[in-house]
Chain A
Amino acid sequence: MTDTPVALSAAPRGTKPRKRLTPTNIMLYGTLFVAALYYLLPLYVMMVTSLKGMPEIRFGNVFAPPVEITFEPWVKAWAEACTGINCDGLSRGFWNSVQILVPSVVISIAIASVNGYALSLWKFKGSEVFFTILIFGAFIPYQVMIYPIVILLREAGEGLSLITGTKIRLMGSIWGLVIVHTIFGMPILTLLFRNYFASVPEELFKAARVDGAGFWQIYFQIMLPMALPIFVVAIILQVTGIWNDFLFGVIFTKPDTYPMTVQLNNIVNSVQGVKEYNVNMAATMLTGLVPLIIYFASGKLFVRGIAAGAVKG
């Protein structure tokens, strides 16, 4: 449609509503831009700092763009920064993190989704009590639990060794870490899945039961294919949480298998002479890359999943 003026005898009363620069819109976008500035500032600072040389940092300000762009801090953070006598930067930790991440995410989500499914559709006597305890668990600071968990894992390892006859150590193995991540991810994930499955029409569940499907058949064939949005949320939350974890990573792994965050901490806290802010920032960004990419890539899916999982209180 072209905008050829057509002489209309009866012009509508009132102003034409489709104006771009209404005061409301100015305020709306103005607020959004100011807010965006606040959220973007640190990212900007990280970025420019990581591209500056040390002298520039010492005499410039944090917001000034780099005069001379250098990628050396990135190279150093990835491959050269030293901790103790190891000077291979973050690179060592990257694959370790991936190896920890994958089983932890898969197992924790598998268990939490089954929990949520059982809690919403196969309630049994006491199931709500366990759920309430679980939710309380979300409020216990992790650090408080370290000590008993360490003892628990030791005992469990010994118990398993007795049963299987081979020596099994949960402490210091990747499986110990997976168990810990599963336990601490459980409250929030279970809540999400429970809410999601509770919003699935109950009649669907009934129909499947009349069709002779049991607990697992309904879970795998009916519920699982329907739960994609909430799985996206769960995966995002877990990937972020586990990737960013420092505390459990450092306690339940060994130097060979230290995750990236432990190495980040080492790089950032290994002050040799002056703090190399540029290297620190580059290391920081490198470490944050995986969760960041996941966030940027998931976009709308995350919001949609949250809507499905969090809306029911």
Chain B
Amino acid sequence: MNLYKATTAAIAFCAAGAVSAADLEVTHWWTSGGEAAAVAEFAKAFDATGNNWVDGAIAGSGGTARPIIVSRIIGGDPMHATQLNHGRQAEELIEAGLMLDLTDVATAEGWADTVNPTSLLDSCTVDGKIYCAPVNIHSWQWIWLSHQAYADAGVDVPSNWDEFVASAPALEAAGKIPLAMGQQAWQSSGAFGVINVAVGGPDLWNKINVNKDADAAAGPEMAKVFEAAAAARAMAANSKVQDWNQATNLVITGQAGGQVMGDWAQGEFQVAGQVAGQDYTCLPGLGVNEIISTGGDAFYFPKQDDPEIEAAQKELAKLLLSPEVQVNFNLKKGSLPVRGDIDLTAANDCMKKGLEILASGNILQSGDQVLSADTSTQIEDLMVEFWNDPSYSAADAQAKYAEIIADAD
């Protein structure tokens, strides 16, 4: 043991003597095709600085990865950097003093001026100090439509949700699944949120999710949202896949008409070699309310007691938000960059649509930012049951939903 320690110390010392190079173990749950390609951009850029990116991918979803990440941080054996949805997930870890304060990096790099929308940086801020580096903006508010499926069914590609609903019987007649849905809880919940914003409007969404207005959640406007969701449920009845990208694959291969999914789905289309506007269409806000929710991913840096590592951590934080890396990463990932000041001419149709909306300030906070993880999972539980059980009536689900909102913190 002692020998081992001594050797490691010696190695660390030697390494320090060279450039400030260090191995950083970075955990994340980006393992699908587009995601992995995007992460590779980070790794490439970081390795170029003389450091070494040790990839700690954990497949599954945040649900699999988060217990591992949290228990390692709590157990005193933290990774050097980790993906987490920014927002309220890391609050307690920051309060417990387990996360590295990045304020000096942020100040030096002028994050406050470049990060757009600023709400992203706010989510990283606790007591005036910045603890995370936002890397992208993900918006749930999209529907992805397969040109092939509509061509096979002999109808035009819809341009908004109402048309989509109207076209469903034609698709079904052609043996297609109108709406592709993965059966995991977060997908059910996410799709509901999108329908909520599209059908009920952003104000209603804010009232319920930001202000936790239980009356609004039980109100007639929301009832319409639930009816719409029930209709969507019927359209997705034959979609028997689990993972979101399997559902996306149904759209790519023309087996399904469309999928309500966040902008990360675009990465899958890209990997499949499809072109926006030609092979598929994307409609922000379901073509009804053109709006973008600005959730996203951020990197946190658990505190270490090694100054070398800390320096490397800050270096990585700096790098993640550098213009070049932002462009490369987000192009691969299909998400929007967090900087308002970079040129994205390489972006495709869908991304450009997103950027325009973002620039126009038509934005919404994401569920992660406003709801606690507890409330989110309660809603997920409700939604996954609702989407998968045709006998669960819209009214019953709404009542339960209002209850959860009333108890939300």
A and B: direct contact (Cβ < 8 Å)?
yes
Residues of A within 8 A of B (CB): 82-86, 146-147, 150-151, 153-154, 157-158, 166-169, 171-173, 250-251, 254-256, 262, 265-275
With contacts A85-B39, A274-B249, A275-B246 known, is A250 near B58, CB below 8 A? yes
Q: Name 30 A/B residue pairs within 8 A (Cβ), A-sorted.
A: A83-B59, A84-B28, A84-B30, A84-B56, A84-B57, A85-B36, A86-B57, A147-B71, A154-B75, A168-B1, A171-B75, A171-B77, A172-B75, A173-B77, A254-B77, A254-B79, A255-B25, A255-B27, A266-B59, A268-B59, A270-B31, A270-B59, A272-B32, A272-B36, A272-B271, A273-B268, A273-B271, A273-B272, A274-B246, A275-B246
Among candidates A86, A169, A267, A274, residue contacting B77 with C-beta atoms closer than 8 Å = A169
- Whether B67 is near chain A, meaning CB under 8 Å from some CB there, is yes
In the complex, are the beta carbons of B59 and A267 less than 8 A apart? yes
Sorting the interface of chain B by its residue count into under 10, 10 to 19, 20 to 34 or 35 or more gives 35 or more
CB distance from A264 to the nearest CB of B (A): 10
Across the interface, name the chain B residue whose C-beta is closest to A275. B246
Q: Tell me which of A147, A265, A269 has the highest count of chain B C-beta atoms within 10 A of its own C-beta.
A: A269
With contacts A151-B75, A172-B72 known, is A255 near B272, CB below 8 A? no
- B residues near A86, Cβ cutoff 8 Å: 55, 57
- Whether B40 is near chain A, meaning CB under 8 Å from some CB there, is yes
Assembled-state Cα–Cα distance A173/B271 (Å): 38
In the complex, are the beta carbons of B56 and A255 less than 8 A apart? yes
In the complex, are the beta carbons of A146 and B67 less than 8 A apart? yes
- Whether B43 is near chain A, meaning CB under 8 Å from some CB there, is yes
Assembled-state Cα–Cα distance A150/B245 (Å): 34
CB distance from B35 to the nearest CB of A (A): 8
Assembled-state Cα–Cα distance A250/B66 (Å): 11
Across the interface, name the chain B residue whose C-beta is closest to A250. B68
Extra pairs beyond A84-B57, A266-B59 (18, CB < 8 Å):
A84-B36, A85-B36, A150-B75, A169-B76, A171-B75, A172-B77, A250-B68, A251-B67, A254-B77, A255-B54, A256-B54, A269-B64, A270-B36, A270-B57, A272-B33, A272-B36, A273-B272, A275-B246
- A residues near B43, Cβ cutoff 8 Å: 85
Assembled-state Cα–Cα distance A256/B31 (Å): 17
In the complex, are the beta carbons of A171 and B72 less than 8 A apart? yes
In the complex, are the beta carbons of B31 and A269 less than 8 A apart? yes
CB distance from B237 to the nearest CB of A (A): 21
Q: Tell me which of A82, A173, A262, A273 has the highest count of chain B C-beta atoms within 10 A of its own C-beta.
A: A273
Assembled-state Cα–Cα distance A256/B60 (Å): 19
Assembled-state Cα–Cα distance A267/B60 (Å): 10
Across the interface, name the chain B residue whose C-beta is closest to A264. B59
- A residues near B57, Cβ cutoff 8 Å: 83-86, 255, 266, 270
- B residues near A84, Cβ cutoff 8 Å: 28, 30-31, 36, 39, 55-57
Assembled-state Cα–Cα distance A274/B76 (Å): 38
In the complex, are the beta carbons of B72 and A270 less than 8 A apart? no
Assembled-state Cα–Cα distance A88/B249 (Å): 25
- B residues near A85, Cβ cutoff 8 Å: 36, 39-40, 43, 55, 57
| Chain B 34-48 near chain A by CB (<8 Å), digits 1 or 0 | 001001100100000
CB distance from A81 to the nearest CB of B (A): 11
Across the interface, name the chain B residue whose C-beta is closest to A160. B1
In the complex, are the beta carbons of B31 and A166 less than 8 A apart? no
| Chain B 1-24 near chain A by CB (<8 Å), digits 1 or 0 | 110010000000000000000000
- Whether B74 is near chain A, meaning CB under 8 Å from some CB there, is yes
- B residues near A272, Cβ cutoff 8 Å: 31-33, 36, 245, 271
CB distance from A80 to the nearest CB of B (A): 13
- A residues near B385, Cβ cutoff 8 Å: none
Among candidates A151, A168, A173, A266, residue contacting B58 with C-beta atoms closer than 8 Å = A266
In the complex, are the beta carbons of B2 and A166 less than 8 A apart? yes
- Whether B227 is near chain A, meaning CB under 8 Å from some CB there, is no
**Which 7 pairs show the lowest CB-CB distances between chains A and B?**
A84-B57, A172-B77, A171-B75, A171-B77, A269-B59, A272-B33, A270-B31
Among candidates A150, A266, A269, A270, residue contacting B71 with C-beta atoms closer than 8 Å = A150
- B residues near A147, Cβ cutoff 8 Å: 71, 74
Among candidates A168, A250, A255, A271, residue contacting B55 with C-beta atoms closer than 8 Å = A255
Assembled-state Cα–Cα distance A86/B31 (Å): 10
CB distance from B144 to the nearest CB of A (A): 15
Assembled-state Cα–Cα distance A222/B57 (Å): 50
CB distance from A147 to the nearest CB of B (A): 7
Across the interface, name the chain B residue whose C-beta is closest to A143. B67
In the complex, are the beta carbons of A254 and B5 less than 8 A apart? no
Assembled-state Cα–Cα distance A279/B67 (Å): 27
CB distance from A276 to the nearest CB of B (A): 11
Assembled-state Cα–Cα distance A153/B77 (Å): 10
In the complex, are the beta carbons of A273 and B68 less than 8 A apart? no
- Whether B243 is near chain A, meaning CB under 8 Å from some CB there, is yes
- A residues near B77, Cβ cutoff 8 Å: 169, 171-173, 254
CB distance from B359 to the nearest CB of A (A): 32
CB distance from B172 to the nearest CB of A (A): 22
Assembled-state Cα–Cα distance A231/B79 (Å): 38
